[in-house]
Structure 1
Amino acid sequence: MTIPLSVLDLSPISAGSSARQALRNTIDLARHAERLGYQRFWIAEHHFAAVASAAPTTLIGLIAAATESIRVGTAAVQLGHHTSSSVVEAFGTVDALYPGRLDLGLGRSGHRSDRVRPSDVPPAPAPDRPAEVRDGVVIPPPFAPGRVLDTTRFAAGLENLYLPGAQPLPYTRQVQQIRALLDGTYTSAEGVPLRAIPGEGADVQLWLFGSSGGESAQLAGQLGLPFAANYHVSPGTIVETVESYRAAFRPSARYPRPYLVVSADVVVAEDDATARYLASTYGHWVHSIRSGAGAAEYLDPDTAPPLSAEQRSLVEDRVTTQFVGSPATVAERLSALQKLTGADELLITSVTHDHEDRLNSHRLLAREWGLTHVRAA
């Protein structure tokens, strides 16, 4: 049977548009995703960039209010920037009004200040080995964080997301705190029982997210939680990531076996040529991130100049692993990704300059995949 598809949205801001319109587009896409049969609608968290998803816990409440049944969640809350209680209370508030529909996705991005390359250290060189193809899936060399051209803006952003002098808790400890607050067993360091209200007993589904076989994948397995692996962000590490999760998995009451979601960046159009044209500025967008400038407004393919060879080399892994083409072309490639990873569900993220093209991409894929026969399962 065909596995479910879900949607990951960043509320991207197109060149010439605004954050207000991007948020309206997100609500519109969520409504379409529900009607088309997608399983979930998740919101990413990004700061100091030309995307409007800086406050995902606020946005999921608005999306839940605008839809009726689709699951809504975060992909993922950057734990280093939030206290455990603020996360649980925010989700508890939305769950109180829209019970049983929320996915609380947790990620490590806010704990990665130690990975920022000092400004006086030059960028790392590009890998000298080519991408390989495994069972129809492109596996490029992993992208080293040290290849980001300028880390000044990224470091400044991290600094301004923390209160002065504050340090994030270790990731594993914070996940454990959140679980305890949800199930009503939390006790402070001083031995005082504390209850998150709203939050305690909330009917939310906890997820962990990861781009490597490290702490997130292993912790998700050890706790018997579902896990989302980021092929669209880190395609070069996808195999080790899913293997690590499965190797660490211990059955839990809710999950007797691993449950894996794998993400993919997708643009679908009526034919391959049109899809390639609509996706032609994706490399520009990724380059704006990896240059250190942060995600820029998404460019119009009618007016954007082509990338230089040097610019293209910085984003080659992401461009070659984007799923672009007609419905049949993309469905075939997604099926290959599902078979390679054994994913139980695929998470589709898509960015185009024109919102209507993005709606059409999700519509065409849903029809080709046969989603109307999937979601009820």
Structure 2
Amino acid sequence: MPVPLSILDLAPLVSGGDVRDALRRTLDLARRAEQFGYHRYWVAEHHFTPGVASSQPALLLGQIAAVTDHIRLGSGAVQTGFQTGLSIVEQFGLLDALYPGRFDLGLGRSGPGKKEAARLVAEEKKQQAPPQERVVDGLLIPKPFSWAPIFASKRTELAGSFLTQPGAEPLGLNDVLDQIQALLAGPVVDDEGNEVTATPGAGADLQVWLLGSSGGESARTAGARGLPFAANYHVAPAKVLEAVEAYRESFVPSPALAEPYVMVSADVLVAEDDATARHLAKPFAVWVRSIRTGLGAVPFPSIEEAEAFPWTDQDRAIVADRVDTQFAGSPQTVAERLQTLQRVTGADELLVTTITHDHADRVRSFELLAKEWSA
């Protein structure tokens, strides 16, 4: 039997559309995903991104839960540096109280701070031989893209000034996880017998996940705590193997999991044949370029806008890893590439994400893939 297939949605805006249109599309796609047999439907958290409407996962998930019946819903991921552990637990506790037993609380770090980003820039400049593209048992592992200059940019600094309170120091990942797990288990009692309880939140039936794009803190923490882990081949394809390896090497059995459980993400676009899929995928490179230049994803372009885009060699270089690892093709082509991804990473589940300019093409992509995957 194939591993379960799930969906990650950004609630993307498209060129000529608006936020209302993007959210209506997300609600429709979630209903269709449930009909097609997908296992989970996750939504992302992105801020100050002109082309993404998924900025508040808990709010959006509540709307999705209201129009679906049984598909699992979750966040991919709540960014822990921008909220307290209590606010996260209360939001998802409220969701669980209204729609019991359906939610995954996917958590992720919020990116490095200004000092850490500057350190990463300096370290990368010292590298003598950066990693090169390779193929591992049929899976492309491209050259890594450096996010460090974007993390250290003035725009990122400006965005950060709105995402945290002045002078606030976000908790580290382990500390915020301690708070979240204690509040979910609740009540929390101190050494003198004082007690607090998250209401809603305490006792909520949530599955806690960590998401990560490398073999760093998130992967190791997920393993050490015995939590399920989602690795991002679609965001950072160069580091997916080190991410899953670090997770498995760090894994310690827990009440949540006796063995490691890994979900791996991928960009996909499915159409009736390879040529049609490649045609529909043309705007993807333009969209990725907007992210990689540090301006945030633009509304997804039309095919005509993509064909008219004035590419430079530098532009093509900064999007190459994402474009080359997008699985665009017929149902058979994409299913084979996903099977390769699953085999090489040992994934227990796959998380696919698709964006097209036309909503019908996006829905059709997920429908064709689901039919092929279950055939």
Which is worse superposed, 10-19 or 141-150? 141-150
- CA positional deviation for 1:253: 2.0
Corresponding residue for residue 206 of structure 2: 204
Q: Tell me if the contact between 1:111 and 1:171 (Cα under 8 Å) persists in the aligned partners.
A: no
- CA positional deviation for 1:254: 2.8
Question: Following superposition of structure 1 onto structure 2, how do residues 77-88 of structure 1 map, counting pairs within 5 Å?
Answer: 77-88=78-89
String of CA shifts for 1:21-46, please: whole Å, max 9, x gaps. Answer: 10111111100110000000000000
CA distance in 1 between counterparts of 2:165 and 2:280 reads: 41
Corresponding residue for residue 273 of structure 2: 271
Corresponding residue for residue 246 of structure 1: 248
The letter of the residue matching 1:17 is G
Q: Tell me if the contact between 1:125 and 1:147 (Cα under 8 Å) persists in the aligned partners.
A: no
CA distance in 1 between counterparts of 2:170 and 2:152 reads: 24
- CA positional deviation for 1:193: 2.6
SS in 1 for 2:135: strand
String of CA shifts for 1:164-198, please: whole Å, max 9, x gaps. Answer: 11110111100111000000153469974321000
SS in 1 for 2:235: coil
TM-score normalised by the chain length of structure 1: 0.93
SS in 1 for 2:361: helix
Which is worse superposed, 244-253 or 187-196? 187-196
Compared with structure 1, are the counterparts of its residues 277 and 222 closer, same or farther at alpha carbon in structure 2 (3 Å cutoff)? same
Corresponding residue for residue 77 of structure 2: 76
Q: Tell me if the contact between 2:46 and 2:52 (Cα under 8 Å) persists in the aligned partners.
A: yes
Corresponding residue for residue 340 of structure 1: 344
Compared with structure 1, are the counterparts of its residues 328 and 174 closer, same or farther at alpha carbon in structure 2 (3 Å cutoff)? same
Paired-residue identity, %: 52
Q: Tell me if the contact between 2:9 and 2:42 (Cα under 8 Å) persists in the aligned partners.
A: yes
CA distance in 2 between counterparts of 1:188 and 1:13 reads: 46
SS in 1 for 2:314: helix
- CA positional deviation for 1:309: 1.6
TM-score normalised by the chain length of structure 2: 0.93
Compared with structure 1, are the counterparts of its residues 107 and 52 closer, same or farther at alpha carbon in structure 2 (3 Å cutoff)? same
- CA positional deviation for 1:261: 0.2
- CA positional deviation for 1:113: 4.3
Question: Following superposition of structure 1 onto structure 2, how do residues 114-129 of structure 1 map, counting pairs within 5 Å?
Answer: 114-117=115-118
Compared with structure 1, are the counterparts of its residues 243 and 359 closer, same or farther at alpha carbon in structure 2 (3 Å cutoff)? same
Q: Please tell me whether residue 302 in structure 1 is matched to residue 298 in structure 2.
A: no
The letter of the residue matching 2:213 is S
Question: Following superposition of structure 1 onto structure 2, how do residues 195-234 of structure 1 map, counting pairs within 5 Å?
Answer: 195-234=197-236
Report the count of equivalent residues. 369
Compared with structure 1, are the counterparts of its residues 189 and 213 closer, same or farther at alpha carbon in structure 2 (3 Å cutoff)? farther
CA distance in 2 between counterparts of 1:191 and 1:289 reads: 49
Corresponding residue for residue 173 of structure 2: 171
Aligned pair partner of 1:363 in 359, 364, 367? 367
Unaligned residue ranges in structure 1 (runs of 5+): 372-377
Which is worse superposed, 204-213 or 130-139? 130-139
Unaligned residue ranges in structure 2 (runs of 5+): none
Q: Please tell me whether residue 58 in structure 1 is matched to residue 62 in structure 2.
A: no
Aligned pair partner of 1:312 in 302, 307, 316? 316
Q: Tell me if the contact between 2:58 and 2:92 (Cα under 8 Å) persists in the aligned partners.
A: yes
String of CA shifts for 1:180-218, please: whole Å, max 9, x gaps. Answer: 000015346997432100000000110000011111111
- CA positional deviation for 1:135: 1.2
Q: Tell me if the contact between 2:187 and 2:198 (Cα under 8 Å) persists in the aligned partners.
A: no
String of CA shifts for 1:36-83, please: whole Å, max 9, x gaps. Answer: 000000000000112100111100111111100000010000000011
String of CA shifts for 1:61-119, please: whole Å, max 9, x gaps. Answer: 1111110000001000000001110000011111001000000000002554444449x
